């Protein structure tokens, strides 16, 4: 199997995670941000992640990939829907997280941004979605303050949980991994240890070395 991804993409991280959690081999292929032809040929539009299954067919959508890989082998990890508490947390934090991380993603070193053309295409796409990225950078302190109560809530949730990894982690970790590119976020010890544990298990590295 082959998994076509962007390194920065939280949705791609979801797909990468399930392979790591289940210890299933997959070839990871990073496409360039300005490569519209390859994904369009596969699924009719520019969107990642895309899984090429063993029969050669293509499967898009991160959670569809997660559920497909889940049924390939034991043990079963994704045995329920996202918990209501984590679903509310995800909905509450997503906009703030993206406002913090996207401007930094455009300046970071990722395989998919390794040419001028690819980086320019990515910047153009994100400016259409978020507006002036430099202005967002200037709002960093305000955005971190907005995020803090939600991080506190996550800290409490992680301390209370007793079950093993499941679909909730597929939702939580990609956002936390994205936030690791932001300087001055006060990750608690509980959250930081959680991030490091998931990163080690899944092979999806954190972004602290590129933090701005």
Q: Kind and range of the H or E element at 188?
A: none
Q: What confidence score (pLDDT) does residue 164 get?
A: 85
Taking the C-alpha atoms of residue 9 and residue 28, their distance in angstroms, rounded to an integer, is 13
Taking the C-alpha atoms of residue 31 and residue 41, their distance in angstroms, rounded to an integer, is 13
Asked whether the beta carbons of 102 and 210 are under 8 A apart, the reply is no
Burial class (CB in 10 A: 0-12, 13-18, 19+), 178: buried
The backbone torsions φ and ψ at residue 134, rounded to the nearest 5 degrees and listed phi first, read -65, -35
Q: What is the pTM of this model?
A: 0.96
Q: What confidence score (pLDDT) does residue 72 get?
A: 94
On the question of pLDDT at 172 being above 90, the answer is yes
Q: In this predicted model, what pLDDT tens digit does every residue of 110-131 receive, in sequence order?
A: 999 999 999 999 999 999 999 9
Q: What confidence score (pLDDT) does residue 74 get?
A: 86
Q: How far is residue 197 CA from its own chain's centroid?
A: 16
Helix, strand and coil in the chain, % to nearest 5: 60, 5, 35
Q: In this predicted model, what pLDDT tens digit does every residue of 25-45 receive, in sequence order?
A: 999 999 999 999 999 999 999
180 — pLDDT class (breaks 50, 70, 90): very high
Residue given tokens 């490091």 in the structure block: 196
Q: In this predicted model, what pLDDT tens digit does every residue of 48-98 receive, in sequence order?
A: 999 999 999 999 999 999 999 999 988 888 877 999 999 999 999 999 999
């Amino acid at each position: 199997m082959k998994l076509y991804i962007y390194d920065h993409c939280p949705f791609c991280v979801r797909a990468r995670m399930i392979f790591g959690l289940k210890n299933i081999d997959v070839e990871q292929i990073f496409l360039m941000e300005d490569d519209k032809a390859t994904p369009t040929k596969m699924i009719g539009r520019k969107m990642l992640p895309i899984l090429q299954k063993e029969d050669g067919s293509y499967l898009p959508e991160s959670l569809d990939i997660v559920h497909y890989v889940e049924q390939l082998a034991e043990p079963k990890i994704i045995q329920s829907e996202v918990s209501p508490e984590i679903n509310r947390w995800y909905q509450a934090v997503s906009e703030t997280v993206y406002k913090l991380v996207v401007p930094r993603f455009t300046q970071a070193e990722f395989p998919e941004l390794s040419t001028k053309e690819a980086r320019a295409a990515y910047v153009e796409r994100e400016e259409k979605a978020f507006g002036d990225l430099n202005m967002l950078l200037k709002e960093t302190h305000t955005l971190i303050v907005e995020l803090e109560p939600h991080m506190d809530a996550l800290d409490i949730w992680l301390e209370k949980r007793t079950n093993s990894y499941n679909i909730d982690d597929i939702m939580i970790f990609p956002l936390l991994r994205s936030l690791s590119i932001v300087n001055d976020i006060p990750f608690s010890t509980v959250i930081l240890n959680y991030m490091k544990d998931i990163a080690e298990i899944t092979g999806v590295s954190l972004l602290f070395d590129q933090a701005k």
